[in-house]
Amino acid sequence: MTVKSTARARKKAAPSVPDNLQAGSAAPELVQLLTPEGDRVEHPDFPLTTTPEELRALYRDLVLVRRFDAEATSLQRQGELGLWASLLGQEAAQVGSGRAMRPGDYAFPTYREHGVAWCRDVDPLNLLGMFRGVNHGGWDPNEKNFHLYTIVIGSQTLHATGYAMGITKDGADDAVIAYFGDGASSQGDVNEAFTFASVYNSPVVFFCQNNQWAISEPTTVQTRIPLYRRAAGFGFPGVRVDGNDVLACLAVTRWALDHARTGQGPVLIEAFTYRMGAHTTSDDPTRYRLNEETEAWKAKDPILRLKAHLEKEGLADEAFFAEVEAESEKLGLRVREGVRSMPDPDPTLIFDHVYSEPHTLVDEERAEYLDYAASFEGGEHH
C-alpha cells in the first residue's frame, strides 16, 4: 500500500509523491540544489524558483544566525550564560526549513534550533535569557508558533504529533515540523510519534538534523541504515537532503509541508549536515573525534556556498555584503549589551509557577527559602 493510496485529501488537491520517495522505494540520492562550489543544480522532484531578493534574504538569515550563535558562545565563555548549544554548521538546515513554513504552521524544536527561532521571529534575547537562567522558558509559544525548547530528547516529536492530530480535527490546513537529532532517532518517543502520525495521517514533518553526532556517539551506533529510510517501515516517505544546502532544505521542506497539509500524511526529512562545534559549551569534541573530519566538512560550509553562488551569478555586490556585515555587527552589539543588562529575576517567582493554585508544600518551601536568603542579610556572608 502506498502512502498516496491511503491519503485522505482534506482541503486542496494533493501534490503527488515523486516515485522515488514512495515508502519502500530504493534509496533516492541526497537532494542537492546548490553544490559546495556554489553552482546551482536541478533535481527533478524538487524544482525551486527563486528571485535574487529571496537568495539575498536567505544569505542575510544565514549570516545573522551564525553571528548570533557565535556571540552566544562567547557570552557563555565570559560567564554571562550558564550554557550554550551551538548551531554552527547547521544554519542552512534550520533557515531553509524555517523559511519553508507558512505563518500558521507550528515548529517544535529541540534546544539547538536558534535558526528556526530566528525565522519564527523569536527575539534572540529571549533565547539567551533562558540560557542565562533569568526566565522560565523564554517566549510565548503560541504567539510565534514556535514551541519552547525541549531538553528531554525526542519528546517533542510526540507533542508535535498530538498538535498535528488537533489540526486535522479542526479541519485546518496548517502543518507542523518536529525537529530532532540523529541520536533522538533511537528514542522510543520518536518511533511512537512516527506510528501515531502515520496511522492518523497527521500533518507533521519530522525534520531530523543528522549532524553525525549525539554528544560523543557517532551516527553509526544509532542505525544500520540511512535514517531517512526508517520512514518506509512506518509507511510514509523519507527524503535525505543536503543539510548544508539552504535551497534544497527550503524546497524539500516546502514540498513535505504541502504533502502533510493536503492530507497525505507525514514525511521524514533527514538533513545530512555536521555539528561543527562542541555538543554544548560543556563538551570537548577533541576527546572523541578527528580534526580531519571537521576539516572535510568545512569545505561544505552552508554560508560560503551561497556567497559563492551570489558572486558567480552577479546577484549581489560588495555593497550588499558590507551591509549584511554591518547589520551583523549591530546584532552582536545588541545581543551583548542586552544579555549583560538583563535584570536578575525575583528568586521567589519559581515557587509561583509550580502549580496554578496555592499549595502548602510549595508555601513551606518558599518560606524556607526566604529564611535562608534572609540569613545572608547584614551578616559576614554578605
Site residues (vs ligand TPP, CB under 6 A): 112, 151-153, 181-184, 211, 213-215, 275, 279
Q: At closest approach, how far in Å is the CB of 247 from ligand TPP?
A: 22
Number of residue whose CB is nearest Mg ion: 181
Q: Which partner, Mg ion, ligand TPP, none, binds residue 129 by CB below 5 to 8 Å per kind?
A: none
Q: Which does 132 bind (CB under 5 to 8 A by kind): ligand TPP, Mg ion, none?
A: none
The answer to whether 214 contacts Mg ion (rule: CB under 5 A) is yes
CB of 382 to ligand TPP, least distance (A): 37
Nearer to ligand TPP, 149 or 213 (CB): 213
Half-sphere exposure of 20 (CA within 13 A, CB side): 12
- What is the DSSP track for 194-259? HHHHHHTT--EEEEEEE-SEETTEEGGGT-SS-GGGHHHHHTS-EEEEETT-HHHHHHHHHHHHHH
- Confirm if 131 and 84 have CB atoms less than 8 A apart: yes
Cβ at position 106, least distance to ligand TPP in Å = 20
Q: Which is nearer to Mg ion, 46 or 274 (CB)?
A: 274
The nearer residue to Mg ion, 201 or 273, going by C-beta atoms, is 273
Query: Judged by CB, which is closer to ligand TPP: 181, or 263?
Result: 181
- 112 binds, options ligand TPP, Mg ion, none, Cβ within 5 to 8 A by partner type: ligand TPP
Distance of CA 108 to the CA centre of its chain: 8
CA angle 339, 344, 345 (to 5 degrees): 125
**How many C-beta atoms lie closer than 10 Å to residue 6's C-beta?**
15
279's contact among ligand TPP, Mg ion, none, with CB below 5 to 8 A by partner kind, is ligand TPP
- 96 vs 183 by CB, closer to ligand TPP: 183
Grouping H, G, I as helix, E, B as strand and the rest as coil, residue 107 is: strand
All residues at 6 or more sequence positions from 99 whose CB lies less than 8 Å from its CB, including other chains: 58, 61, 119, 250
Are 266 and 206 a contacting pair, CB within 8 Å? yes
Considering the rule CB under 5 A, would residue 227 count as an interface residue with Mg ion?
no
Q: Say whether residue 211 binds Mg ion (CB under 5 A).
A: yes
153 binds, among ligand TPP, Mg ion, none (CB under 5 to 8 A by kind): ligand TPP
Residue 368 is placed in which grid cell?
Answer: 524556607
Q: Of residues 126-185, which lie at the interface with Mg ion (CB under 5 A)?
A: 181-183
Q: By C-beta, is 7 or 30 nearer to Mg ion?
A: 30
Contacts of 230 (CB under 8 A, 6+ apart): 185, 194, 223, 238, 268
Instruction: Pick the closer one to Mg ion by CB: 90 or 201.
Output: 90
Q: 274 - beta bridge partners? A: none
Identify the H or E element spanning 268: strand 267-272
265 counts as binding Mg ion under rule CB under 5 A: no
Residues that bind Mg ion (CB under 5 A): 181-183, 211, 214
